[in-house]
Amino acid sequence: MLKNWIVAGTIMVMLSGTNWAQTDTCEVANGSFEDDGLISDITAQEPNAWDVNVPSEKFAARTDGSWATDGSFSLFVQSQWFTAFAAGDMATVSQQVHLADVNEITFDVKMDTYSLLAWDPNIATAVMLVDGDVVWEPNGATSDLRGEYLARAYAVEDKYRDENPHTLSVGVRINVDEPGLSFERYRVRWDSIGCTLFCNGGGLLAGDFNHDCYVDINDLKLGTAVWLNEVPSYDRHNLFRDDDLPGYGTVNFFDLAMFADNWLRSSYKEDRADVVAADGHGY
Protein backbone atom coordinates (compact mmCIF):
# COMPACT_ATOMS: atom_id res chain seq x y z
CA MET A 1 0.00 0.00 0.00
CA LEU A 2 2.71 2.42 1.00
CA LYS A 3 4.58 1.57 -2.16
CA ASN A 4 1.53 2.48 -4.26
CA TRP A 5 1.30 5.86 -2.60
CA ILE A 6 4.96 6.54 -3.26
CA VAL A 7 4.51 5.65 -6.92
CA ALA A 8 1.42 7.84 -7.21
CA GLY A 9 3.17 10.70 -5.47
CA THR A 10 6.18 10.42 -7.74
CA ILE A 11 3.96 10.54 -10.84
CA MET A 12 2.15 13.61 -9.52
CA VAL A 13 5.44 15.41 -8.93
CA MET A 14 6.53 14.51 -12.45
CA LEU A 15 3.27 15.78 -13.95
CA SER A 16 3.38 19.04 -12.02
CA GLY A 17 6.81 19.73 -13.46
CA THR A 18 5.69 19.59 -17.07
CA ASN A 19 4.40 22.41 -19.20
CA TRP A 20 1.88 20.34 -21.11
CA ALA A 21 -1.59 21.71 -21.59
CA GLN A 22 -3.91 21.13 -18.67
CA THR A 23 -7.14 20.35 -20.43
CA ASP A 24 -9.27 20.88 -17.34
CA THR A 25 -8.70 24.64 -17.51
CA CYS A 26 -8.38 25.08 -21.27
CA GLU A 27 -11.35 23.98 -23.26
CA VAL A 28 -13.38 25.15 -26.23
CA ALA A 29 -16.42 22.87 -26.49
CA ASN A 30 -17.15 21.49 -29.96
CA GLY A 31 -14.43 23.74 -31.37
CA SER A 32 -14.12 21.50 -34.40
CA PHE A 33 -17.86 21.45 -35.18
CA GLU A 34 -17.99 17.66 -35.29
CA ASP A 35 -20.69 17.04 -32.66
CA ASP A 36 -23.73 17.44 -34.88
CA GLY A 37 -22.61 16.39 -38.34
CA LEU A 38 -24.37 18.38 -41.06
CA ILE A 39 -26.58 21.29 -39.99
CA SER A 40 -28.07 23.00 -43.02
CA ASP A 41 -29.10 26.14 -41.11
CA ILE A 42 -27.61 26.85 -37.69
CA THR A 43 -30.27 29.47 -36.96
CA ALA A 44 -32.72 26.54 -36.89
CA GLN A 45 -30.41 24.14 -34.98
CA GLU A 46 -27.51 25.57 -33.00
CA PRO A 47 -24.27 23.56 -33.06
CA ASN A 48 -23.64 21.91 -29.71
CA ALA A 49 -22.13 24.37 -27.19
CA TRP A 50 -22.42 27.41 -29.48
CA ASP A 51 -24.90 30.30 -29.38
CA VAL A 52 -25.82 31.53 -32.84
CA ASN A 53 -26.13 35.19 -33.80
CA VAL A 54 -26.72 35.14 -37.54
CA PRO A 55 -29.17 37.72 -38.95
CA SER A 56 -30.64 35.50 -41.62
CA GLU A 57 -31.72 38.28 -43.97
CA LYS A 58 -28.03 39.17 -44.39
CA PHE A 59 -26.08 35.98 -43.66
CA ALA A 60 -26.37 32.23 -43.83
CA ALA A 61 -24.46 29.66 -41.79
CA ARG A 62 -24.22 25.90 -41.57
CA THR A 63 -21.89 23.10 -40.62
CA ASP A 64 -20.79 21.08 -43.61
CA GLY A 65 -18.07 18.89 -45.02
CA SER A 66 -16.79 21.18 -47.79
CA TRP A 67 -13.57 21.88 -45.85
CA ALA A 68 -12.15 20.63 -42.56
CA THR A 69 -8.76 20.62 -40.85
CA ASP A 70 -9.91 18.37 -38.02
CA GLY A 71 -12.49 15.65 -38.50
CA SER A 72 -15.02 15.98 -41.31
CA PHE A 73 -16.91 19.22 -40.68
CA SER A 74 -16.39 22.92 -40.18
CA LEU A 75 -18.48 26.01 -39.56
CA PHE A 76 -19.42 27.76 -42.82
CA VAL A 77 -20.61 31.39 -42.57
CA GLN A 78 -21.35 33.54 -45.60
CA SER A 79 -22.94 36.85 -46.48
CA GLN A 80 -26.11 36.77 -48.56
CA TRP A 81 -26.13 38.39 -51.96
CA PHE A 82 -28.71 40.82 -53.36
CA THR A 83 -28.80 42.28 -49.85
CA ALA A 84 -28.07 45.68 -48.30
CA PHE A 85 -25.49 45.86 -45.48
CA ALA A 86 -24.39 48.38 -42.88
CA ALA A 87 -20.77 48.61 -41.77
CA GLY A 88 -20.35 46.42 -38.71
CA ASP A 89 -22.97 43.83 -39.64
CA MET A 90 -21.79 40.48 -38.32
CA ALA A 91 -22.71 36.83 -38.24
CA THR A 92 -21.12 34.92 -35.36
CA VAL A 93 -21.31 31.90 -33.11
CA SER A 94 -20.27 32.29 -29.46
CA GLN A 95 -19.60 30.37 -26.30
CA GLN A 96 -18.46 31.15 -22.77
CA VAL A 97 -14.85 30.26 -22.03
CA HIS A 98 -12.56 30.54 -19.04
CA LEU A 99 -9.26 32.15 -19.96
CA ALA A 100 -7.46 32.53 -16.63
CA ASP A 101 -4.62 30.18 -17.59
CA VAL A 102 -5.12 30.23 -21.36
CA ASN A 103 -2.31 31.70 -23.40
CA GLU A 104 -3.52 31.20 -26.93
CA ILE A 105 -6.73 30.50 -28.78
CA THR A 106 -5.77 28.51 -31.85
CA PHE A 107 -7.78 27.99 -35.02
CA ASP A 108 -7.88 27.39 -38.77
CA VAL A 109 -9.79 29.63 -41.17
CA LYS A 110 -10.51 29.54 -44.87
CA MET A 111 -11.81 32.61 -46.70
CA ASP A 112 -13.10 32.70 -50.26
CA THR A 113 -15.67 34.38 -52.47
CA TYR A 114 -18.53 32.82 -54.35
CA SER A 115 -17.47 34.50 -57.60
CA LEU A 116 -13.83 33.45 -57.18
CA LEU A 117 -12.87 37.12 -57.50
CA ALA A 118 -10.53 38.80 -55.01
CA TRP A 119 -11.70 39.42 -51.44
CA ASP A 120 -11.22 43.12 -50.72
CA PRO A 121 -10.34 43.54 -47.00
CA ASN A 122 -12.08 46.92 -47.00
CA ILE A 123 -15.43 45.25 -47.62
CA ALA A 124 -15.52 42.28 -45.25
CA THR A 125 -13.34 40.10 -43.05
CA ALA A 126 -13.27 37.02 -40.87
CA VAL A 127 -13.27 37.97 -37.20
CA MET A 128 -12.63 36.44 -33.79
CA LEU A 129 -13.96 38.38 -30.81
CA VAL A 130 -13.70 38.23 -27.04
CA ASP A 131 -16.49 39.98 -25.15
CA GLY A 132 -17.51 41.70 -28.38
CA ASP A 133 -14.09 43.17 -29.16
CA VAL A 134 -12.31 41.98 -32.29
CA VAL A 135 -9.10 40.23 -31.20
CA TRP A 136 -8.10 38.67 -34.53
CA GLU A 137 -8.70 39.35 -38.16
CA PRO A 138 -6.44 38.51 -41.09
CA ASN A 139 -3.63 40.90 -41.93
CA GLY A 140 -5.14 43.75 -43.95
CA ALA A 141 -1.88 44.56 -45.75
CA THR A 142 -2.90 42.29 -48.60
CA SER A 143 -5.39 43.33 -51.28
CA ASP A 144 -6.97 39.86 -51.45
CA LEU A 145 -7.86 37.98 -48.28
CA ARG A 146 -8.77 34.71 -49.98
CA GLY A 147 -6.86 31.73 -48.71
CA GLU A 148 -6.33 29.31 -45.88
CA TYR A 149 -5.08 30.64 -42.55
CA LEU A 150 -3.81 27.55 -40.79
CA ALA A 151 -2.55 27.07 -37.25
CA ARG A 152 -3.24 30.70 -36.39
CA ALA A 153 -3.30 31.85 -32.80
CA TYR A 154 -4.59 34.77 -30.81
CA ALA A 155 -2.34 35.38 -27.80
CA VAL A 156 -4.84 36.05 -25.04
CA GLU A 157 -4.32 39.46 -23.44
CA ASP A 158 -3.95 39.70 -19.68
CA LYS A 159 -7.19 41.67 -19.35
CA TYR A 160 -9.13 38.51 -20.20
CA ARG A 161 -7.06 36.17 -18.06
CA ASP A 162 -9.14 36.27 -14.90
CA GLU A 163 -11.67 34.04 -13.15
CA ASN A 164 -14.68 35.46 -15.01
CA PRO A 165 -16.24 33.71 -18.01
CA HIS A 166 -15.65 35.46 -21.33
CA THR A 167 -17.53 35.27 -24.59
CA LEU A 168 -15.53 33.85 -27.48
CA SER A 169 -17.05 34.48 -30.91
CA VAL A 170 -16.04 33.69 -34.49
CA GLY A 171 -17.65 34.65 -37.77
CA VAL A 172 -17.66 37.22 -40.56
CA ARG A 173 -18.07 41.01 -40.48
CA ILE A 174 -19.06 43.48 -43.20
CA ASN A 175 -16.89 46.61 -43.10
CA VAL A 176 -18.73 49.05 -45.37
CA ASP A 177 -22.21 50.43 -45.87
CA GLU A 178 -23.67 48.66 -48.86
CA PRO A 179 -27.02 50.37 -49.37
CA GLY A 180 -27.52 48.81 -52.76
CA LEU A 181 -27.47 45.15 -53.55
CA SER A 182 -24.37 43.13 -52.83
CA PHE A 183 -23.33 40.94 -55.73
CA GLU A 184 -20.75 38.91 -53.85
CA ARG A 185 -20.89 36.25 -51.16
CA TYR A 186 -18.04 36.43 -48.65
CA ARG A 187 -17.52 32.92 -47.29
CA VAL A 188 -15.62 31.97 -44.13
CA ARG A 189 -15.01 28.50 -42.78
CA TRP A 190 -13.78 27.96 -39.21
CA ASP A 191 -12.38 24.74 -37.78
CA SER A 192 -10.08 23.38 -35.07
CA ILE A 193 -10.79 26.14 -32.55
CA GLY A 194 -8.90 25.24 -29.40
CA CYS A 195 -6.68 26.71 -26.76
CA THR A 196 -3.18 26.33 -25.41
CA LEU A 197 -1.57 26.74 -22.04
CA PHE A 198 2.09 27.65 -21.91
CA CYS A 199 4.45 27.41 -18.99
CA ASN A 200 1.92 26.00 -16.54
CA GLY A 201 -0.38 28.89 -17.41
CA GLY A 202 2.26 31.58 -16.89
CA GLY A 203 2.16 32.53 -20.55
CA LEU A 204 4.91 33.37 -22.99
CA LEU A 205 7.29 36.23 -22.48
CA ALA A 206 7.99 38.76 -25.17
CA GLY A 207 11.12 37.36 -26.78
CA ASP A 208 10.48 33.69 -26.01
CA PHE A 209 10.53 32.89 -29.69
CA ASN A 210 10.94 29.13 -29.27
CA HIS A 211 8.18 28.84 -26.64
CA ASP A 212 10.25 27.00 -24.04
CA CYS A 213 9.26 29.39 -21.22
CA TYR A 214 12.70 31.02 -20.97
CA VAL A 215 14.28 33.94 -22.78
CA ASP A 216 17.84 32.94 -23.44
CA ILE A 217 20.60 32.50 -26.01
CA ASN A 218 18.43 30.22 -28.16
CA ASP A 219 15.89 33.00 -28.60
CA LEU A 220 18.64 35.52 -29.29
CA LYS A 221 19.79 33.34 -32.17
CA LEU A 222 16.28 33.32 -33.61
CA GLY A 223 15.97 37.07 -33.18
CA THR A 224 19.31 37.92 -34.75
CA ALA A 225 18.39 35.79 -37.77
CA VAL A 226 15.80 38.44 -38.68
CA TRP A 227 17.70 41.47 -37.35
CA LEU A 228 16.81 44.63 -39.35
CA ASN A 229 14.49 42.59 -41.56
CA GLU A 230 11.13 44.00 -42.56
CA VAL A 231 8.47 41.59 -41.32
CA PRO A 232 4.67 41.55 -41.09
CA SER A 233 3.43 43.37 -37.98
CA TYR A 234 2.13 40.16 -36.49
CA ASP A 235 5.50 38.41 -36.79
CA ARG A 236 6.45 37.20 -33.34
CA HIS A 237 9.92 38.76 -33.60
CA ASN A 238 8.35 42.20 -34.02
CA LEU A 239 7.89 42.87 -30.30
CA PHE A 240 7.52 46.68 -30.38
CA ARG A 241 4.82 47.80 -32.73
CA ASP A 242 4.42 51.54 -32.12
CA ASP A 243 6.94 52.28 -34.88
CA ASP A 244 5.25 50.05 -37.47
CA LEU A 245 4.06 51.25 -40.82
CA PRO A 246 0.62 49.82 -41.61
CA GLY A 247 1.03 46.08 -41.79
CA TYR A 248 4.83 46.01 -41.50
CA GLY A 249 7.52 46.36 -38.87
CA THR A 250 11.28 46.26 -38.74
CA VAL A 251 13.12 44.14 -36.18
CA ASN A 252 15.38 46.76 -34.62
CA PHE A 253 16.67 48.24 -31.37
CA PHE A 254 13.16 48.95 -30.08
CA ASP A 255 12.44 45.23 -30.23
CA LEU A 256 15.83 44.40 -28.73
CA ALA A 257 15.05 46.66 -25.76
CA MET A 258 11.90 44.65 -24.97
CA PHE A 259 13.82 41.43 -25.49
CA ALA A 260 16.52 42.59 -23.07
CA ASP A 261 13.93 43.33 -20.38
CA ASN A 262 13.10 39.63 -20.24
CA TRP A 263 16.65 38.31 -20.64
CA LEU A 264 17.16 35.08 -18.69
CA ARG A 265 13.68 35.24 -17.22
CA SER A 266 11.32 32.31 -16.84
CA SER A 267 7.60 32.58 -17.39
CA TYR A 268 6.49 29.49 -15.54
CA LYS A 269 3.50 30.58 -13.51
CA GLU A 270 5.35 29.91 -10.28
CA ASP A 271 8.31 32.07 -11.40
CA ARG A 272 6.38 34.90 -12.95
CA ALA A 273 6.80 38.42 -11.58
CA ASP A 274 7.27 41.80 -13.24
CA VAL A 275 7.87 40.35 -16.67
CA VAL A 276 7.00 41.78 -20.05
CA ALA A 277 4.35 39.52 -21.56
CA ALA A 278 3.96 38.87 -25.25
CA ASP A 279 1.15 41.13 -26.37
CA GLY A 280 -2.20 40.22 -27.82
CA HIS A 281 -1.31 40.12 -31.48
CA GLY A 282 -1.88 36.87 -33.25
CA TYR A 283 0.67 35.31 -35.50
* CA–CA gap between residue 208 and residue 242 (Å, rounded): 20
Does 199 sit near Ca ion (CB under 5 A)? Answer: no
Beta carbon of residue 145, minimum distance to Ca ion (angstroms, whole number): 21
* Three-state DSSP class for residue 282: coil
Does 71 sit near Ca ion (CB under 5 A)? Answer: yes
* CA–CA gap between residue 62 and residue 43 (Å, rounded): 8
Beta carbon of residue 278, minimum distance to Ca ion (angstroms, whole number): 11
Does 210 sit near Ca ion (CB under 5 A)? Answer: yes
Residues in the chain: 283
Binding piece for Ca ion, criterion CB under 5 A, among 12-20, 32-40, 55-63, 122-130: 32-40
Binding piece for Ca ion, criterion CB under 5 A, among 125-133, 160-168, 211-219, 235-243: 211-219
- Pick the binder of Ca ion from 104, 108, 178, 219 (CB under 5 A): 219
Binding piece for Ca ion, criterion CB under 5 A, among 52-60, 111-119, 125-133, 200-208: 200-208
Beta carbon of residue 117, minimum distance to Ca ion (angstroms, whole number): 27
Give residues 166-195 in contact with Ca ion (rule: CB under 5 A): 191
Binding piece for Ca ion, criterion CB under 5 A, among 20-28, 123-131, 201-209, 246-254: 201-209
What are the backbone dihedrals phi and psi of residue 115, each rounded to the nearest 5 degrees, phi first?
-80, -10
What's 23's DSSP letter?
G
- Pick the binder of Ca ion from 27, 70, 137, 261 (CB under 5 A): 70
Name the residue nearer to Ca ion (CB basis): 115 or 210: 210
DSSP string, 103-131: -EEEEEEEEEETT-----TTTEEEEEEET
Q: How far is CA 31 from the centre of its chain?
A: 12
- Pick the binder of Ca ion from 21, 28, 32, 61 (CB under 5 A): 32
Find the helix packing angle between 253-261 and 217-224, rounded to 10°: 170
Burial class (CB in 10 A: 0-12, 13-18, 19+), 8: exposed
Name the residue nearer to Ca ion (CB basis): 59 or 73: 73
Closest CA to 192 of 26, 22, 28: 28
